Amino acid sequence: METENTKKMPIFWLILGIAVIFLFGLVFYFFGSGGILKTILYMIIGLFILTILFLIVYAVFWLFSVHRVDTIHVNRQRILKSCLANPPKSESVLFFQGSDDWEYRKIGFITGLCRLLHKRKYVDPETKETKYDEYIEDCISFRKSLGFFSSLFTKDEIVRVLADERTNLNGERVYLKAMSFSPEKYGFFFLPNRFKGTDIKRIMSEEIHDVTMQELLKEEVNIVNDAIAISPQHQKALEKTNMQQVTETTGGK
C-alpha cells in the first residue's frame, strides 16, 4: 500500500545528512589536530555509537507502542504458512502458458501449495431457486529463486487459481493458462480471466472477516477487563469492597 512516507524520504535524507555533517564537525573540532586518519577513525566510531543508540531507542519505542493489526497481511501470512507446510516433492517450476501475442514465460519456483474450499451462490434458471455449489481454489506460493540469499531478500508470492486455470500440479513444469497476472489484490495474484465470473471481492471479504473475528477472540479477555476497569460503577463497587475488607480486618475500629 502506498503511503505518504515515500514523500517524506527527501526530508529524512536531508536530516540524516545534516546530522552526519554536524557529527563530522564535532569530531574534527576535538580530534582534527591528530590528522585526517584519526579524524576518520573517530568519525566511524561516533557513527557506530549513534547507530547502537538509535537501535536501542527504536527497540524500546517499538516494544511499548501500540501495533495496528493489518488483517489483509495476517490473512496472507496464514495462507502462506499453509502453502510452505506442503512443499513439492521435487523441484517444480511455474510458467505462464502465454498466447500468440506473448510467449510463455518462467515465473519462478513453486515453494508450496494449499487449497481452499468455497461455496458459490447462484439462481437455478429452471426452478428460480437459490442454490449453492462448491469449488476448490489452489493457492500456489512461489519465489524467483531458491537460493539462500534469495530467501533472505525476496518474499514468497502467492497466486490463487482454479483447476481449469492451470495444468497438472505433479509435473516438473506447471503452466498457468494466461500470459500475465492481473494487478495484485488483497496481497495475492490472480489470473485475468478470474474476474469474469468469480466474485473475488466476496471471497476476500469473508476471509478478512474470519481473520478479524480470530483477532477479536484473542483480545476478548483484555477488552472485557479494560471495559470493566474504566467503568465508574465497577470502580465504586471495588472501593466499597476494599473498605469492607479493611473494616473486617481492623474489627470495625
pLDDT bucket at 7, cuts 50 / 70 / 90: low
Report pLDDT digits (tens) over 147-157: 777 777 788 99
pLDDT bucket at 220, cuts 50 / 70 / 90: confident
Quote the CA–CA distance of 154 and 143 in Å, as a whole number. Answer: 8
| pLDDT exceeds 70 at position 246 | no
pLDDT of 100 reads: 79
Report pLDDT digits (tens) over 172-189: 999 999 999 999 999 999
Virtual CA dihedral for 164, 170, 173, 177, nearest 10 degrees?
Answer: 0
| pLDDT exceeds 80 at position 66 | no
pLDDT bucket at 17, cuts 50 / 70 / 90: confident
Locate 86 and state its grid cell.
506442503
pLDDT of 1 reads: 39
